[in-house]
Structure 1
Amino acid sequence: MTSSARGALCAAALVAAVVAGAVPAYADGGGSAKWSVAPFAGGGTRPAKDGRPSFYAEGTPGAVLQDTLAVTNPGPKPRTISLRGADAGNTGSGAYSVTPAKGTPKDTGAWITFAKRQVKVPPRTRAEVPFTLTVPTGALPGDHPGAIVASGGGRTVGVRVDLRVGGPTLSALTVERVKVDTDAGSIAYDLVNRGNTVLTPKLAVRADGVFGTLIDRPARTLPVELLPGRRVSLTEPWPDAPALDAVDVELTATASGGARDTATASARFVPWGAVAGGGVLLLAAAGGALHLVRRRRRRTEEERAREPEPGAGSGAGSGDEPEQKRGATQLARAGTGDEL
């Protein structure tokens, strides 16, 4: 989008141009071809000859940004299309969504003003509708996703509007409410975007039982576009969960910009048929064994941390580092990515 005075919007005319090419087959069951909306290819700060998939805008608080929406009617009859701005959000499962028609936009959707909110498009014609996006002076920095929603002829379609308000940005997320469903064989958890940028999170999963590792899944990108301030509830499948074990589960979520968080949960797997036949005692024994395994792991890690540096001698004349210097060396090494 390009900066311009608001008065320019009032003077902008609605431009109609004949759509070249053959008329597509009737497709919506109503006796007319489907209409469509898209960013005008020649508008904005990033015009594209082959078209833009969405609107992208950057501006500081108080900026007035302008762009153009193209509404195309390839059918043989005129179409009247209504336009509105909408805020974007996530459904509970992470899908991208916009505010309903009866909802009142409070963010990007409320900042969009059209040259005409209702457009009558002649047959086989494209209408170009100018609009402005006015960033309030008190707008918070970061990403403000929204959409332009068009309705007409029994159809409703939308085009994304990705607005970034200038200022400090923060990428942060948390993993919460981790719970193992031993009956369904799955791991439920929540992801929360605690920053002000849109995140595409990755998730790594690890589960350790009494006798070893049960799950070790490397980080993979989730089919989620997590918007600022949003929470989504997701499920990680575990089809080969053990029948009898005491398990520790660890979920690690990461995203661009340095966002990272880890959360854990514990679970006890026991077959119902084994409960009456001494399964409870067996499970208790498994839990005790897991406790011993954890203690042994921690002890091993502590012993490794106390080991002297390779090549260290036994006296001052053999090249020993003073204690203070050796401690500084270990701290510097830990700061290169190792967990403390």
Structure 2
Amino acid sequence: MPFRTRAAVTVAAVAAAAVLLNSAPAAARPAAAPAAPGWSAAPSGADRAYFYLEGAPGTAMTDRLAVGNPSDRAVTVRLRGDGARDGAGAWLLFGAAEVTVPPRTRATVPFTVTVPRDASSGDHPGTIVATGPGAPGARFRVPVRLRVTGPALSALTVERVSVRRRGSAAVIRYTLVNRGNTVLRPRLAVRADGLFGPLLRRPGRALPVTLLPGAQVDRTETWPDPPALDAVDVRLTATAAGGAHDAATAGYTAVPWGAAAPALLLAAGGGWAVVRRRRRAGRADPAAVGPDGEVPGAVTEAADAGTGANSGTGTGTCARTGTRTGTRTGSGVRA
């Protein structure tokens, strides 16, 4: 009986393991990827991932977009240009804004890019967007890299730099602006210097940013361990290909409130004490004035017909010697 029990348990364990092994791949199998829309859009002719066009201001350049339909039913695809107002996307004109492609067929759609006569030289990229049937939002985006010939100017500026405390860290905010006519991929270096020497040295590194001509982007840098008490100058230096270079500095004063509050209160208390002493020194003591307005210890004078005599007596209390008494008499003739 014990042998049969152990055999039964073993068989049950093997069966359970087999079930788990068979179900594990199904549980671990990733979800199926969305089905392809069944059609495609790409530059016609040679194997190209994007269009490249180059010409002077006032030039009209043409190329062709291929729309393929390998399915067994016709598809209708809509075409449009996308991009900045002064880029290829805005200067695109298609031979047909909508094309219907028969089953198992490839159609080519011509388009023209007309560069305005006042267009600045440099890069003016855009995108062709093809939207058709399939999953919601099924579309293809084909880049158009347009370069207008003429002097190229690479210019980059760093603007609106600020440093703010956030918890135990500091956040450096800044804006990069492309002031030239070429596409820029900037690099940024960060340094911070305090009263007693360098605090942060972050060498130049490529940013995940592509700036079109005239474009700008707001970014932040995190400084995880800023000083708790110091006056700091934070300097950002941005560079890019073509000689683009700029730097900007922002001041940052780190003063913890817990350390500053006692000093401020002490300074305020000392100032108020000085003010009170000065006010008291400018007022007479009412207790020292007699009922007739005379102050004890003052000298009185009398004069008649050119002859005068003066006498005075007084008593006073000195904080240093105790009680003081004295008598002064005199006479004189005044002219």
Q: TM-score range by the shorter chain?
A: 0.5 to 0.7
Q: Aligned partners of 1:74, 1:164: CA distance in 2, in Å? A: 34
Q: Which position in structure 2 is the counterpart of 1:70? A: 66
Decide whether the 8 Å contact of 1:270 with 1:279 is kept in 2.
no
Q: For residue 145 of structure 2, what is the amino acid of its counterpart?
A: D
Q: Aligned partners of 1:133, 1:80: CA distance in 2, in Å? A: 23
Q: Aligned partners of 1:73, 1:279: CA distance in 2, in Å? A: 78
Q: Aligned partners of 1:36, 1:277: CA distance in 2, in Å? A: 72
1:110 corresponds to 2:90: yes
Q: Which position in structure 1 is the counterpart of 2:42? A: 38
- Flag the 1:279–1:135 CA change in 2: closer, same or farther, 3 A: same
1:195 corresponds to 2:180: yes
Alignment coverage as a number of residue pairs: 231
SS in 2 for 1:81: strand
Q: Which position in structure 1 is the counterpart of 2:303? A: none
Percent sequence identity over matched residues? 59
SS in 1 for 2:127: strand
Shift, 1:129, TM fit: 1.7
Normalized per residue, the structure richer in strand is 2
Shift, 1:211, TM fit: 2.6
1:142 to 117, 122, 134: 122
SS in 2 for 1:109: coil
Q: Which position in structure 1 is the counterpart of 2:113? A: 133
Q: Which position in structure 2 is the counterpart of 1:290? A: none
Q: For residue 81 of structure 1, what is the amino acid of its counterpart?
A: V
1:173 to 156, 164, 174: 156
When the two structures are superposed, what TM-score results if normalisation uses the length of structure 2? 0.63
Q: How does 1:148-167 map to 2 (within 5 A)?
A: 148-153=128-133, 154-155=136-137, 156-167=139-150
Q: Aligned partners of 1:279, 1:123: CA distance in 2, in Å? A: 83
Q: Which position in structure 2 is the counterpart of 1:274? A: 259
Q: For residue 164 of structure 1, what is the amino acid of its counterpart?
A: R
2:243 to 252, 255, 258: 258
| Structure 1 residues 130-154: Cα deviation after superposition (integer angstroms, max 9, x where no partner) | 2121223332222111111122233
Q: For residue 111 of structure 2, what is the amino acid of its counterpart?
A: F
Decide whether the 8 Å contact of 2:86 with 2:124 is kept in 1.
no
- Flag the 1:224–1:280 CA change in 2: closer, same or farther, 3 A: farther
Q: For residue 202 of structure 1, what is the amino acid of its counterpart?
A: R
- Flag the 1:160–1:33 CA change in 2: closer, same or farther, 3 A: closer
| Structure 1 residues 238-275: Cα deviation after superposition (integer angstroms, max 9, x where no partner) | 12222332211011111111111110001012334333
Q: Which position in structure 1 is the counterpart of 2:54? A: 58
Decide whether the 8 Å contact of 2:185 with 2:209 is kept in 1.
yes
Q: For residue 156 of structure 2, what is the amino acid of its counterpart?
A: L
Q: Aligned partners of 1:280, 1:116: CA distance in 2, in Å? A: 77
- Flag the 1:78–1:279 CA change in 2: closer, same or farther, 3 A: farther
Q: Which position in structure 1 is the counterpart of 2:227? A: 242
Shift, 1:54, TM fit: 1.6
| Structure 1 residues 35-60: Cα deviation after superposition (integer angstroms, max 9, x where no partner) | 33222242xxxxxxxx3222111001
Q: Which position in structure 2 is the counterpart of 1:207? A: 192
Q: Aligned partners of 1:38, 1:110: CA distance in 2, in Å? A: 19
SS in 2 for 1:110: coil
Q: How does 1:7-18 map to 2 (within 5 A)?
A: none
Decide whether the 8 Å contact of 2:123 with 2:146 is kept in 1.
yes
Shift, 1:199, TM fit: 0.7
Over aligned residue pairs, what C-alpha RMSD do you find? 2.6
Q: For residue 36 of structure 1, what is the amino acid of its counterpart?
A: S
Q: Based on CA coordinates, which of the two structures has the bigger radius of gyration?
A: 2
More RCO (CA 8 Å, sep 6+): 1
Shift, 1:278, TM fit: 4.0
Q: Aligned partners of 1:279, 1:223: CA distance in 2, in Å? A: 45
* Structure 2 runs not aligned, ≥5 long: 1-31, 267-335
Shift, 1:74, TM fit: 4.3
- Flag the 1:70–1:279 CA change in 2: closer, same or farther, 3 A: farther
Q: Which position in structure 2 is the counterpart of 1:96? A: none
Shift, 1:280, TM fit: 9.9
- Flag the 1:152–1:276 CA change in 2: closer, same or farther, 3 A: same
* Structure 1 runs not aligned, ≥5 long: 1-25, 43-50, 89-104, 282-340
- Flag the 1:216–1:279 CA change in 2: closer, same or farther, 3 A: farther
- Flag the 1:71–1:271 CA change in 2: closer, same or farther, 3 A: farther
Q: Aligned partners of 1:60, 1:233: CA distance in 2, in Å? A: 32
| Structure 1 residues 200-258: Cα deviation after superposition (integer angstroms, max 9, x where no partner) | 11111111122321211111111111111111111112122223322110111111111
Q: Aligned partners of 1:271, 1:37: CA distance in 2, in Å? A: 60
Q: Aligned partners of 1:200, 1:146: CA distance in 2, in Å? A: 17
Q: For residue 164 of structure 2, what is the amino acid of its counterpart?
A: D
- Flag the 1:106–1:190 CA change in 2: closer, same or farther, 3 A: closer
